[in-house]
Amino acid sequence: MHPIHDQNLSPTQVTQLTRAMLSVALVDGIHPAEAALIGQFYETSRSADMPSTATVLARPDAHAFDAGALAGSTPEFADTVVLMCLMAAYADGSLSPAERNHVQTLATALGVNAGRFDALLAQVRDELVGAISHLPDAGSVAAVVRELAAAD
């Protein structure tokens, strides 16, 4: 399940979600894979009157992201923000402790409790494992699963 397919996001929500994802990617420097994921999300979600994807990605650190802007979000949008931020963090191959802490801070601002955060993190990890589970090299898949489990 892709978290945004079950929702119609407003332009404000698309902007907030994109900025949240960029804030996660900026924690340890934006990796090309993170930029690609964020750019793909924004491009497929933005309306014609919103800034271009190139404009948004050109200066991702131009404005500090305020997690307080997410307060009062619906539980569905809160889950989407946490899921997409975790996916952005994992896009470069790993979730660093600093990225995880940052996403947890966003989750707290959204009213997502620790148990729900852990469930969303497990969902992202399951999706990542599912994406590679068809590969013929079972040893490599097992190594990735161990690495994901060790990240806690």
Q: pLDDT of 33-45, one tens digit each?
A: 999 999 999 999 9
Q: Is the dihedral of CA 102, 107, 113, 117 positive or negative?
A: negative
CA triple 16-40-110, angle to 5 deg: 25
Q: pLDDT of 14-73, one tens digit each?
A: 999 999 999 999 999 899 999 999 999 999 999 999 999 998 888 777 667 888 888 889
Contacts with 23 (C-beta within 8 Å, 6 or more apart), sequence order: 65, 102, 106
Task: State both tokens at 62.
Answer: 């131009």
Per-domain residue ranges of the chain: 11-125
Among residues 14, 24, 44, which one has the least CA distance to residue 90? Answer: 24
